[in-house]
Amino acid sequence: MTAAGGRNRIRIRNRIRLPATGPLTPARAGAEVQLMLLNLTGVAVAVMLAQGGAPPGPQNPAAAHLERGQKLIQSGDLIGALEAFDAAAKADPKNPRSYYLRGVVLEKRHDLAGAERAYREAVGRDARFAPAHNNLGAMLLDKGETAAAEKEIQVAVSGDPKYADAHSNLGHVRDAQGRPAEAVKSYREAVRLRPGEASFHVNLGAALRKTGDIDGALTELRQATHLAPQDALALTYLGLLLSDKKAYDEAHEALEKATRLDPKLAAAWTELGRMELRRKQPAAAADALARARVLKSKDATIAADYCSALAKKDLKAKVAQEECRAAVALDASNALARYELGKILVAHGDCAAAQIEIDKFAGLSGVKPEAKAKAQEILKTCTPAKQGKKKTSLE
């Protein structure tokens, strides 16, 4: 099932960002000191001292600029924060934190090329500076450079074995490389280090599902929604897993809540629609998938699911054929869209066109022999429209 851009994948990136104001909790203070996750309640001075630096003041202008920059981030003044971090870099060119925090701000401003350069400058000044390696690795993963991403994040983990975010990102890399069992190990370590982080439980649950451990995945997602009951993405994946277990009423409750919490979350509408298809409610499925289609108009898998729902609702409906053709246009190798389009053409008595679609469906890689045989059986029921017989048995 698609939850975020591809079937069976929900992945929550874990980069380092400045937190909201408030004191560091004892469970996280050690790691956050190392990662420069500073708040605005006086902890900044303690952190600088813990890392061997001097507190902000007239004798340490770089530290003062860093503190000012972080306050500006908190207030939303990203341009001012960049200026402060530039000043910190000029005052202390060897300090990697100035470049690292500049990268964080540039990511917030969606200047990804600039952020990558800043993270590389940070690790160039201190090859052991784990936060910059982590964020750089996450950016490389976003670009599909999984080998390079793994190298950077491994450096972060080796430099700081208690770095929970880096363990989670290492799980993302292994997941992207098709190594779900190894991803599970990384996610478990992230959960062990920070059990109160809901996103870690979501990612662990997603990886467990890929290994076939649906019960284990459910346990993690229930914990995630316990920790974050208003997290729409966690509820979406919980609904998906409950649908896997055919617990449709509970799945419906979770998915509907997700759509209420975040009406713009396409994944929630998509999984709600797919769940309704599983329990043979094509009208409800079509309604949900129509919302997903609007939100993700270029997503071929959503388009194919919507096409399927419409076809099951009414094969003769013009919109069903239009949506199936749109899905095929988005991805010519989408087997579901080809199959449903073939069925629709049979229903309309357009046997020549149906033959073409079903032949293309049968020629796709990954289509099982029994599915090919069923498609051919459907094709045999086609009666050309000019002969006047339109009604066929297709299911």
- The pTM of this model reads 0.78
Q: Which residue has the tokens 């796709």?
A: 364
Q: What is the structure's pLDDT at 315?
A: 82
* 187, part of any domain: no
State the total domains in the chain.
1
Distance CA 181, CA 82 (A): 41
| Dihedral angle, C-alpha 43, 47, 48, 49, nearest 10 ° | 100
Instruction: Quote the tokens at residue 204.
Output: 């662990």
* 145, part of any domain: no
Q: What is the structure's pLDDT at 386?
A: 66
Distance CA 169, CA 13 (A): 7
**Phi, psi (5° rounding) for residue 60?**
-140, 70
CATH of the domain at 305: 1.25.40
* 184, part of any domain: no
* 306, part of any domain: yes
Q: What is the structure's pLDDT at 174?
A: 97
**Phi, psi (5° rounding) for residue 320?**
-65, -45
**Phi, psi (5° rounding) for residue 7?**
-65, 140
* 18, part of any domain: no
Structural domain of 349 = 297-395
Q: What is the structure's pLDDT at 14?
A: 55
pLDDT tens string, the chain, 395 residues long: the values are: 333 222 333 455 555 433 332 222 223 223 332 233 322 222 232 333 333 344 455 557 889 999 999 999 999 999 999 999 999 999 999 999 999 999 999 999 999 999 999 999 999 999 999 999 999 999 999 999 999 999 999 999 999 999 999 999 999 999 999 999 999 999 999 999 999 999 999 999 999 999 999 999 999 999 999 999 999 999 999 999 999 999 999 999 999 999 999 999 999 999 999 999 999 999 999 999 999 999 999 999 999 999 999 999 998 888 999 999 999 999 999 999 999 999 999 999 999 999 999 999 999 999 999 999 999 999 999 999 865 444 444 44
By the 8 A CB rule, do 139 and 116 touch?
yes
Q: What is the structure's pLDDT at 207?
A: 96
* 327, part of any domain: yes
Q: What is the structure's pLDDT at 387?
A: 52
* 359, part of any domain: yes
* 46, part of any domain: no
